[in-house]
Amino acid sequence: MTPARIARGYINLPWGQVHYRTAAAATAGPLLLLLHQSPLSARNYDRVLPLLGAFCRPIAVDTPGYGGSDLPEPTWEVADYANLVFAVADRLGESRFHLFGRATGTVFALAAAMTQPERLHSLTLHGLPVYTAAERADRLASFAPPFAPDDEGGHLAWIWRRIKGEYPWIDPRLATHFVADYLATGGDFATAYRAIWRWDLAGKAQDWRAVPTLLIAGTRDRIGFMHERAVRLLPAARTVTLDGATDFVAEQEPERFAAVLRDMIVANR
């Protein structure tokens, strides 16, 4: 893919700048905001953005503190990340739009839908992480410690081992991109993680209202075991399971991923 197929920009907000990526040729169609998983960045969508641009205006946002977006102060909670969704849409001049989230991004997207459902045409959640209270407490205690640079570059090896440990099948090219995303956080890569672990998703979901919602699962997804929890939590949502799909289907199978989103957007214009 040539760089010309991706355009980048910044949105200025009172607390700082939000970096985004879009399809260079996408100038018309409904707005689709895409939220990525932590601790990565909107770069995850580079291969699929040009395909999405054929039928919508895709904007993939770097979560504050990740990629090229500023780290907000003080520490944000889930409600702050949800409000960001509407701040971005407002700056783009859109009162209603489609919203997609992956993993950490699904929690922020769902929280946004709970807050202002009337502004969403549709909501698509790829791998909604429904943690139990015990799981959330365990992750807050030990799952994502910060890393500190050292003279021998040991932090680089630590990041590499962590990525390969979580995704043993990952190829070196993709893993290298992930290392860059970890480094972009400045050492504390868990700011967004901690926000979702502090938030009682299962308890809050009772506030979810009738936004057309799709739950996507992959049979090789690292958090695929949580799909059934998500189905029970949002019983009115449609579901689709992608056989053989990993956490990174948007990068590995962009045509397949784009087709799912196209069907959702066309059905909910």
Contact status, residue 204 vs residue 112, Cβ threshold 8 Å:
no
Residue 161: inside a domain: no
Residue numbers of the chain with a pLDDT score lower than 70: 1-4, 26-27, 207-209
Residue 184: inside a domain: no
Number of domains in the chain: 1
Which is it for the CA torsion 116, 117, 118, 121, positive or negative? positive
- Per the prediction, the chain carries an average pLDDT of 94
Q: What is the structure's pLDDT at 1?
A: 42
66 φ, ψ (degrees, to nearest 5): -130, 160
Which is it for the CA torsion 43, 182, 102, 224, positive or negative? positive
Q: Tell me, what CATH number does 260's domain have?
A: 3.40.50.1820
Q: What is the structure's pLDDT at 207?
A: 61
Residue 244: inside a domain: yes
Residue 234: inside a domain: yes
Longest dimension (CA), the chain: 54
Residue 22: inside a domain: yes
- The Cα–Cα gap between 179 and 45 comes to 16
Q: Structural domain of residue 56, as residue ranges?
A: 3-132+198-267
Please report how the helices 133-142 and 191-198 are oriented relative to each other, as an axis angle in degrees rounded to 10.
Answer: 150
Contact status, residue 233 vs residue 203, Cβ threshold 8 Å:
no
Contact status, residue 64 vs residue 31, Cβ threshold 8 Å:
no
Residue 122: inside a domain: yes
Contact status, residue 44 vs residue 160, Cβ threshold 8 Å:
no
Q: What is the structure's pLDDT at 28?
A: 80
Q: What is the DSSP letter of 72?
A: P
Residue 20: inside a domain: yes
Residue 25: inside a domain: yes
Q: What is the structure's pLDDT at 2?
A: 45
CB-count burial class (<10 Å; 0-12, 13-18, 19+) for 33: buried
- The Cα–Cα gap between 45 and 97 comes to 18
Q: What is the DSSP letter of 160?
A: H
Q: What is the structure's pLDDT at 252?
A: 95
